[in-house]
């Protein structure tokens, strides 16, 4: 990769719309949380296994270490604060963090949300941060209902920070169908919705998610007919133009895509459908948003103006309010004006 393009990707103001809090923690954050040395070494070892040699078992082990490291209000606060710093250092100017509220000994789910919000409020970096709270499809309907009740309560206290709800968790468990009414309730209470969609082959569920018309969908690995999806769903996506959160490295490491050259984003490019580039779990997958932009350029021949446009379009797809979108777009325009060298080659 030529160094001027690396500079471009790092310097470009970027928009991150799909980042899970716990999975995003780098090995540099773990010591700040008082994580045992042996866990840190293990974490580094697991995340440094070359792509192609990693498997789902490694990924789950890495997740477990990060999860264990954030089991008190103080560590959740510190993890969020330092994570925001890392995204800001990568020139991410707008970040939507997502996480599932959780109960631990000495920390209620409400404490958990409060700790994340306090870190967002205390963050002094020049980055705008919003929170998406997740319902986990592995949880029971009762747990998800309680979770949504809590989310709605906290949203009424922090409407400028809590912007949306997400459906996440292991896609082989649970179903969107059983939780759809909760997403309808969230929507009726002014929460935006984004749904992890098509992480496994399941055209029936993908159809139901598209019909629900969330503001965005995540991954969409098995939606296009060339990728074990079906033409009806692809046509519906083309008609609805729901923005898709693309996570290149995540899909490679978890094995939904074998090599970057075969990534399903090609179909979005061919049909000119809206998408954003994201990290998903930058800590687990040992990546950064700048790196994802470099990968996009390398494998899909994006030019500097193309990548700038992806950032610009992602602002429109974000859950920021109208005023914040204008501010972010101005920042991006201003950066282009000052960095014209990248656009004149
Ligand atoms: Zn995700």
Contact assessment for residue 75 and residue 34, using Cβ atoms and an 8 Å cutoff:
yes
Q: Sort residue 34 into left (φ over 0), alpha (ψ -120 to 50) or beta.
A: left
Longest distance between any two alpha carbons in the chain, whole Å: 57
CA of 338 to the centre of ligand 1 (A): 34
Residues 136-177 have pLDDT tens digits of 999 999 999 999 999 999 999 999 999 999 999 989 999 999
Strand partners, 94: 15, 128
Q: What is the pLDDT of residues 178-193, one digit of tens each?
A: 999 999 999 999 999 9
List the Cα angle 297/200/189 in 5-degree steps.
90
CA neighbor of 247 nearest in space, from 44, 7, 4, 23: 23
Q: What's the gap in Å between 221 CA and the centre of ligand 1?
A: 12
75 neighbors 115 (Cβ within 8 angstroms): no
Q: Is the separation of the CB atoms in 336 and 343 below 8 Å?
A: yes
pLDDT at 342: 85
Whether the CB-CB separation of 96 and 51 falls below 8 Å is answered with: no
For the beta sheet containing 244-246, the strands, ordered from the edge strand earlier in sequence to the opposite edge, are: 14-20, 92-99, 128-136, 162-168, 192-197, 216-219, 244-246, 275-277
Residue 313 pLDDT level (bands cut at 50, 70, 90):
very high
At residue 248, the 3 state secondary structure works out as: helix
Residues in Cβ contact with 150 at an 8 Å cutoff, skipping those fewer than 6 apart: 101, 109, 110, 113
The mean pLDDT value for 257-263 works out to 95
Residue 254 has pLDDT above 80, yes or no: yes
pLDDT at position 345: 61
- pLDDT > 80? residue 294: yes
CA 336 – ligand 1 centroid, Å: 30
Q: How far is the CA of 98 from the centre of ligand 1 (A)?
A: 9
CA of 29 to the centre of ligand 1 (A): 20
CA distances from 53 to 50, 268, 274 (A): 6, 28, 31
SS3 content of the chain, % helix, strand, coil (to 5): 55, 15, 30
**Mapping DSSP to helix (H, G, I), strand (E, B) and coil, where does residue 133 land?**
strand
Buried b (16+ CB within 10 A) or exposed e, 2-16: eeebeebbbebbbbb
Alpha carbon distance 8, 311 (integer Å): 13
Would you place residue 111 in the very low, low, confident or very high pLDDT band (cuts 50, 70, 90)? very high
**Which domain range does residue 231 map to?**
3-342
Query: Of residues 10 and 5, which shows the higher confidence score?
Result: 10
pLDDT, the chain, mean:
95
The band of 2, judged by pLDDT with boundaries at 50, 70 and 90, is low
Active site residue 199: yes
Look at residues 198, 39, 21 and name the one whose alpha carbon lies nearest to residue 120.
21
Cα–ligand 1 centroid distance for 41 (angstroms): 25
Domain count within the chain: 1
Ligand 1 center–CA 237 separation, angstroms: 20
Query: Cα(290) to centroid of ligand 1, in Å?
Result: 18
Which residue of the set 96, 199, 245, 292 is catalytic?
199
Domain CATH code at residue 306? 3.20.20.140
How far away, in angstroms, is 6 Cα from ligand 1 center? Answer: 25
């Amino acid at each position: 990769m030529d160094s001027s393009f690396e500079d471009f990707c790092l310097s470009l103001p970027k928009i991150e719309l799909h980042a899970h809090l716990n999975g995003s923690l780098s090995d540099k954050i773990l010591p700040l949380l008082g994580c045992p040395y042996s866990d840190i070494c293990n974490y580094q070892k697991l995340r440094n296994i070359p792509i192609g040699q990693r498997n789902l078992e490694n990924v789950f082990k890495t997740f477990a270490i990060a999860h264990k490291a954030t089991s008190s209000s103080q560590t959740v606060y510190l993890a969020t604060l330092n994570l925001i710093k890392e995204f800001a250092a990568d020139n991410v100017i707008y970040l939507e963090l997502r996480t599932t509220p959780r109960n631990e000994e000495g920390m209620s789910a409400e404490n958990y949300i409060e700790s994340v919000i306090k870190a967002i409020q205390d963050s002094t970096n020049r980055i705008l941060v919003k929170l998406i709270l997740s319902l986990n499809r592995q949880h029971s309907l009762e747990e998800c209902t309680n979770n949504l009740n809590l989310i709605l309560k906290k949203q009424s206290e922090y409407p400028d920070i809590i912007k949306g709800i997400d459906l996440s968790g292991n896609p082989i468990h649970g179903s969107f169908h059983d939780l759809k009414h909760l997403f309808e309730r969230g929507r009726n209470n002014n929460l935006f919705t984004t749904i992890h969609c098509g992480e496994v082959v399941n055209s029936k569920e993908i159809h139901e998610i598209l019909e629900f018309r969330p503001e965005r969908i995540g991954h969409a690995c098995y939606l296009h007919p060339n990728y074990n999806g079906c033409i009806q769903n692809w046509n519906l996506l083309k008609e609805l133009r729901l923005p898709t959160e693309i996570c290149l490295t995540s899909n490679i490491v978890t094995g939904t895509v074998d090599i970057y050259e075969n990534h399903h984003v090609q179909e979005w490019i061919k049909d000119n459908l809206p998408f954003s580039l994201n990290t998903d779990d930058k800590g687990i997958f040992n990546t950064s948003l700048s790196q994802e932009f470099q990968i996009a350029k390398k494998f899909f021949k994006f030019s500097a103006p193309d990548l700038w446009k992806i950032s610009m379009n992602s602002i429109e797809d974000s859950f920021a309010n109208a005023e914040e979108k204008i501010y972010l777009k101005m920042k991006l325009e201003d950066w282009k004006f000052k960095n014209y060298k990248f656009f004149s080659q």
